């Protein structure tokens, strides 16, 4: 092979390699942008927990593939009503026993996810599955669960925050409806002010309620 032909061959090879490198770079950028947009803060949390961007993106893509195989369905109207009643009981229980209310809320959310079609597994797997389509509330779920894991060591204010965080996920799980019952107009608004004290009275907006050391509500002025 003459020297000129060899040079031409090397140039062609170099061009092909450069094209592939550009295509790979563009595809990598698009994948990263997609995962950042979809998972939000969870993207950075996963990078930190896995030790690098490549391993984090593999983890997040695996979550997408796994959840895509689930048979996720909305709750039926009867199930929404039943879970709504149970949630009200949790909020009422918080007045007298915040620790028990937090634990019941944690179990109730797990049951709701199972009913919707999420596999029953450990919390970390449930959390990861939740981040795929419910990223906005998944962080609240993790924060609430961390408080529930403290059990008796959590402060009353932390437990109140846990209930409010659980409620964000509760409302999202019950608000998604199928086409058949989307016209029902179900609004799952069950705030702390729906759970009164023993005389049946309300104790104010969830975001403004303060608690005494024994978990009793103090009405705002």
Residue 84 in domain = yes
Distance from C-alpha of 156 to C-alpha of 13, rounded to nearest angstrom: 68
Specify the residue for token string 């894991």.
149
- DSSP letter, residue 172: H
- What tokens were used for 160? 């109140």
One digit per residue, pLDDT tens: the chain, 221 residues? 577 777 787 788 888 888 888 887 777 778 888 888 888 889 999 999 898 999 999 999 999 999 999 999 999 999 999 999 999 999 999 999 999 999 999 999 999 999 999 987 789 999 999 999 988 899 999 999 999 998 779 999 999 999 999 999 999 999 876 554 444 444 444 444 444 443 333 333 444 333 333 344 443 44
Distance from C-alpha of 22 to C-alpha of 194, rounded to nearest angstrom: 58
Residue 23 in domain = no
Residue 8 in domain = no
In tens, the pLDDT along 36-89 reads: 888 888 999 999 989 899 999 999 999 999 999 999 999 999 999 999 999 999
Residue 57 in domain = no
Longest dimension (CA), the chain: 99
| Full-model pTM | 0.68
Residue 72 in domain = no
Residue 146 in domain = yes
Residue 47 in domain = no
Domain hosting residue 174, numbered range: 77-218
Specify the residue for token string 């996920």.
169
Number of domains the chain contains: 1
Distance from C-alpha of 111 to C-alpha of 169, rounded to nearest angstrom: 12
Sign of CA dihedral 48, 53, 57, 59: negative
CA 48 to chain centre: 18
């Amino acid at each position: 092979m003459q020297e000129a032909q060899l040079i031409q061959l090397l140039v062609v090879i170099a061009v092909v390699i450069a094209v592939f490198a550009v295509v790979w770079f563009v595809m990598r950028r698009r994948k990263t942008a997609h995962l950042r947009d979809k998972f939000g803060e969870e993207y950075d949390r996963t990078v930190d927990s896995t030790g690098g961007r490549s391993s984090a993106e593999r983890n997040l893509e695996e979550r997408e593939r796994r959840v895509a195989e689930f048979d996720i369905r909305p709750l039926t109207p009867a199930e929404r009503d039943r879970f709504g009643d149970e949630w009200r009981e949790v909020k009422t229980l918080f007045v007298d026993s915040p620790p028990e209310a937090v634990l019941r809320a944690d179990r109730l959310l797990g049951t709701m996810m199972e009913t919707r079609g999420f596999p029953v597994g450990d919390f970390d797997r449930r959390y990861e599955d939740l981040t795929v389509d419910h990223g906005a509330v998944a962080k609240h779920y993790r924060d609430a669960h961390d408080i529930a894991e403290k059990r008796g060591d959590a402060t009353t204010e932390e437990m109140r925050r846990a209930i409010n965080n659980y409620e964000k996920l509760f409302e999202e799980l019950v608000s998604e409806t199928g086409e058949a019952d989307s016209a029902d107009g179900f609004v799952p608004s069950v705030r702390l002010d729906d759970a009164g004290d023993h005389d049946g009275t309300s104790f104010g907006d969830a975001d403004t309620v303060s608690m005494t050391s024994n978990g009793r509500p103090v009405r705002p002025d």
